[in-house]
Structure 1
């Protein structure tokens, strides 16, 4: 089936929905939508999506108890693996990890990648205030780099109070993506693991727009340089979920490296009318930089996930 590869698509299996409800957790104040494999496939067929790479969204699987988080991560990854087994061309999956249980996260990453053959892992932008450049992540980065794993970074609620009437996915998520991306680069994760391939959600927040400002991080982080910070920031991949707008695309296409922009739908969290409007902008866009990214819908993702090549 010739169609888009959607690297930003979520699942909400019933056991995970139950765990959320029992814990009182929400997706940063955003309403929890309904989901089923059939609904996902129907959306994909309607939107011209051949393959959806599934992931658990915020708030992840850790609700305060390490053992429960490990069990929930394991059950969810097993569920995803079965979906892929049943429809290998239609679904892929990023394994969820029980962060901030770092030992449990390393063990589950190894299991999911080596035994379940996950297409990568999803990391939230912060885990109880620990951002991706924090030293506690280093054993995890080491295992991921050793396996040449693709890492999908999804935003989480930052450790700050929400503003009234502005749920975190609406406002704070782009900020937190930007924050963790710079934290990762400034603290040398790419320097230690240059082969890492990391996708940032939602066009990287406002990273493309403010990247040149962020090179100032070299003033405060010994061993870095402005050029090194910029080179690190340009190693990221970016998805278009909720971000393919007439104002965001010129900035993204001016900044991203060729082949580093991938399609994302944010199903089922994005309302249908939002998704279709952003898809319309993406399809029609012929502004600055468009000629550099003819591969957003499919070829860029095929380079990261060779098994999806037709």
Structure 2
């Protein structure tokens, strides 16, 4: 079996400036070395120093062209700043030009004080912030204007699948929501890819019904306490999906959207 590794929250954003770029390089080099040492066993998404637009572009190119990594990981907010902020546009334009797989992993929301009790940060804050990040990217026109990025959204998209109809209603009812996009949000959101870190059969079935098995990729969220490799596997195997659908979710979708996939991972 092959695992795709990525540096989880807070990724490299616990440091600033040049140190952020250095930490990203160290993490990416470590993943690349691990993948080279255990060929076919590990792949990796690169961390990007998003605080520095120039450094972000350099590391994107190095990760894809030199380290031959399978994509990049960004968090649902970058130290409180939305992914839809124009400061990140040059990075996403380059990712679009290169048809990069961009994995959006959840982060604690910017208003973190509301999530300090009962471990609400990872329990509900993560999917809330994922929902906000994807909604802003959609209404800002990023998915429309940069259609070649292969977006992989963590935690089954948060509440995005559940809220697609409501977002479509907002697009029809509010002129502000139509400024940057010509089609209802669901038109763009159904083109994204979603991991299966929910493990709920009801949620997985809804996700399959909305976006299709070919836009779902198995995820584990391991080693987070809420994650589980065992549940990642059993939650898919236990569904009443067809064998072809399960195959797409277990490996087919990921193999089709990632960059630089080695032949050893396709066996």
Fold shared per TM-score above 0.5: yes
CA distance in structure 2 between the aligned counterparts of 1:203 and 1:186, rounded to whole angstroms: 19
Say what the alpha-carbon RMSD is for the aligned residues: 1.9
In the alignment, is residue 244 of structure 1 matched against residue 196 of structure 2? no
Distance apart, 1:277 and its partner CA: 4.0
Of residues 223, 239, 249, the one that matches 1:285 is 239
CA distance in structure 2 between the aligned counterparts of 1:216 and 1:149, rounded to whole angstroms: 31
Of residues 38, 42, 52, the one that matches 1:101 is 52
CA distance in structure 1 between the aligned counterparts of 2:169 and 2:181, rounded to whole angstroms: 9
CA distance in structure 2 between the aligned counterparts of 1:148 and 1:101, rounded to whole angstroms: 21
Distance apart, 1:227 and its partner CA: 3.5
Q: 1:222 to 1:298 in 2, by over 3 A?
A: closer
Q: 1:225 to 1:145 in 2, by over 3 A?
A: closer
User: SS of the residue aligned with 2:201?
Assistant: coil
Report how many aligned residue pairs link the two structures. Answer: 256
Whether the aligned pair in 2 keeps the contact of 1:245 and 1:282 (CA below 8 Å) is: no
CA distance in structure 2 between the aligned counterparts of 1:234 and 1:62, rounded to whole angstroms: 30
- Structure 1 unaligned regions, length at least 5: 1-49
CA distance in structure 2 between the aligned counterparts of 1:105 and 1:89, rounded to whole angstroms: 27
Q: 1:116 to 1:281 in 2, by over 3 A?
A: closer
1:235 is matched with: 191
User: SS of the residue aligned with 2:134?
Assistant: helix
2:211 is matched with: 256
CA distance in structure 1 between the aligned counterparts of 2:183 and 2:32, rounded to whole angstroms: 41
Q: 1:246 to 1:95 in 2, by over 3 A?
A: same
CA distance in structure 1 between the aligned counterparts of 2:182 and 2:49, rounded to whole angstroms: 34
Distance apart, 1:129 and its partner CA: 1.9
2:223 is matched with: 268
CA distance in structure 2 between the aligned counterparts of 1:207 and 1:190, rounded to whole angstroms: 14
1:59 is matched with: 10
1:215 is matched with: 168
1:184 is matched with: 137
Distance apart, 1:106 and its partner CA: 1.8
1:309 is matched with: 266
Distance apart, 1:117 and its partner CA: 1.1
CA distance in structure 2 between the aligned counterparts of 1:271 and 1:208, rounded to whole angstroms: 21
Distance apart, 1:224 and its partner CA: 4.5
2:23 is matched with: 72
Q: 1:217 to 1:186 in 2, by over 3 A?
A: farther
- Structure 2 unaligned regions, length at least 5: none
In the alignment, is residue 83 of structure 1 matched against residue 34 of structure 2? yes
TM-superposition CA deviations, 1:178-219 (whole Å, max 9, x none): 111111111111221111100001111111111111124432
TM-superposition CA deviations, 1:261-307 (whole Å, max 9, x none): 001111211467x5434533321111xxx348332112222222453
